[in-house]
Amino acid sequence: MTNTNNQQVIKLALLLGLFSTLGPFTIDMYLPAFPEIVKQFDTTASLVQLSLTACLLGLGIGQLVMGSLSDVYGRRNPLLISMAVYVVASLACAFSPHIGLLITFRFVQGFAASAGIVISRAIARDLYSGHELTKFFSLLLLVGNLGPLVAPVTGSGILSFTTWVGVFIALALLGMYLLTMTKWKLQETLPSDRRRPSNFMEQLRNYGMLLRDRQFVGYMLAQGIMIAGVFAYVSGTPFIYQNIYGASPTLFALLFGSNGISLIIGSQLVGRMSHRVSEHAFLLFGLGLASLASVVVLVVAIVHGPLFALVIPLFFFVGAIGITSTAAFPLAMESQAHMAGSAAALLGVIPFLLGAVVSPLVGIAGEDTAVPLGVIILLTSAAAMLAYFFLVRRSTRESLG
């Protein structure tokens, strides 16, 4: 590959990675403001966490819709419309007069942001396959995973001189920038002759075909359930770090953001070593690492260990997500070139739908215990492992036998 081609690949990965960061920024940037929002609206931690749940539902359901639309109308136009909606929804969140409207507009904001996630991945599948897809996807994640690293720190910085309203205004500006990038920098990657027919029943049949593919479903669940565990971590740590351990918003942002480093390490490990170690091996290793780390988190939570004893296993848990996500995505997408948008949508929707379920559960025992977080991430790790062995491994053995 020539230097010119390398530069083009890097530029494309940077652009698509920016769209991938929209999800983490939408989710994470306002996390340091959770206690402030509770006080502002005179509400409860669970209701503020419900605004996160609404966003996750929007991100999940939106991917199903936007993935299918991108298979029908191409990648570029759905992305343009979604970015415009995202800007409006972000401003609506900023000026919501009560918690109910904030929850509603967070759903719309998440729905619009979903296009950036699912369409960027569909574009990757339009252009690459096999190990090349794994390498490009890891490069895309290198940029996308900066979101969890930068977003809470940025949110904390904004909160140092303004209120939580400023966070959503900043998100509106980010959406405007991505709208401009879509208009002037992004080329269409799905030609007309490769698009699916504009037929609702046909789209349902596409999803039905994907859901009958046991290996695809196994990879989808292994990746999706694991990421749902991360959303429990995202929902719970603002209160655990700040209320239980007394961390300041700035310290919380640094601790939370540091796990973006572990995501990057995990994803880049798979991308750089995919020609030597199979994606299957990496997936299994990531699942095992997550299970071990979650056991340690639960033990520390039960004995109320020191903060560093909780932060370290969570660092490895999040790193395991980087490994499993990077390995599972190309394995699932490899045979789905004919409906990459729909396949990417299903791979994206499960984490957010499951995350929407588990996020409020972290606060079910109140704001003064981390035990629910430990229980949830342990259960998600175990469930992801079971999905891999009972669907992927068993299906592989049956096909060989």
> How would residue 365 be classed by pLDDT, with cut points 50, 70 and 90?
low
Position 386 in a domain = yes
Position 2 in a domain = no
Position 121 in a domain = yes
**Helix-then-strand count for the chain, H and E:** 16, 0
The DSSP line for 133-198 is: HHHHHHHHHHHHTHHHHHHHHHHHHHHTTS-HHHHHHHHHHHHHHHHHHHHHHPPP-S-GGGPPPS
pLDDT in tens, 166-189: 999 999 999 999 999 888 888 888
- Contact by Cβ (8 Å): 82, 179: no
Position 1 in a domain = no
> How would residue 149 be classed by pLDDT, with cut points 50, 70 and 90?
low
CA-CA distance, 387 to 223, in Å (whole number)?
Answer: 9
CA-CA distance, 375 to 278, in Å (whole number)?
Answer: 31
pLDDT averaged over the chain? Answer: 84
Q: Is the pLDDT of residue 8 over 80?
A: no
The CATH number of residue 79's host domain is 1.20.1250.20
CA-CA distance, 398 to 401, in Å (whole number)?
Answer: 5
Position 361 in a domain = yes
Beta strands in 73-216 (DSSP E): none
- Contact by Cβ (8 Å): 142, 278: no
Q: Is the pLDDT of residue 367 over 80?
A: no
Range of the domain at 182: 9-186+197-400
The DSSP line for 371-389 is: HHHHHHHHHHHHHHHHHII
> How would residue 82 be classed by pLDDT, with cut points 50, 70 and 90?
very high
The DSSP line for 276-308 is: TS-HHHHHHHHHHHHHHHHHHHHHHHHHT--HH
CA-CA distance, 158 to 177, in Å (whole number)?
Answer: 18
Q: How far is CA 206 from CA 57, 68, 199, 330, 336, in A?
A: 22, 9, 11, 19, 10
Return the closest-CA partner of residue 51 out of 81, 7, 96: 96
> How would residue 312 be classed by pLDDT, with cut points 50, 70 and 90?
very high
CA-CA distance, 141 to 267, in Å (whole number)?
Answer: 7
305: how many CB neighbours lie within 10 A of its CB? 14
Give me 128's structure tokens.
Answer: 């690459």
Give me 326's structure tokens.
Answer: 């990077």
Using DSSP, state whether 367 is helix, strand or coil.
coil
What's the distance, CA 12 to chain centroid? 20
pLDDT, residue 175, reads 95
Position 382 in a domain = yes
Give me 173's structure tokens.
Answer: 């500006």
What does the pLDDT average to over 213-233? 87
Burial class (CB in 10 A: 0-12, 13-18, 19+), 104: middle
Position 192 in a domain = no
Give me 171's structure tokens.
Answer: 């998100």
What does the pLDDT average to over 185-210? 79
Q: How many domains does the chain have?
A: 1
Amino acid of residue 395: S
Instruction: Evaluate if pTM is beyond 0.75.
Output: no
pLDDT in tens, 315-325: 999 999 889 98
pLDDT in tens, 119-147: 988 888 888 877 787 778 777 777 776 77
198: how many CB neighbours lie within 10 A of its CB? 12
The DSSP call for residue 362 is: G
CA-CA distance, 116 to 18, in Å (whole number)?
Answer: 8
Residues 6 or more apart whose Cβ sits within 8 Å of residue 180: none
CA-CA distance, 307 to 315, in Å (whole number)?
Answer: 12
Position 3 in a domain = no
> How would residue 248 be classed by pLDDT, with cut points 50, 70 and 90?
confident
> How would residue 5 be classed by pLDDT, with cut points 50, 70 and 90?
low
pLDDT, residue 1, reads 47
Q: Which residue has the tokens 């096999």?
A: 130
CA-CA distance, 218 to 390, in Å (whole number)?
Answer: 8
Q: Is the pLDDT of residue 353 over 90?
A: no
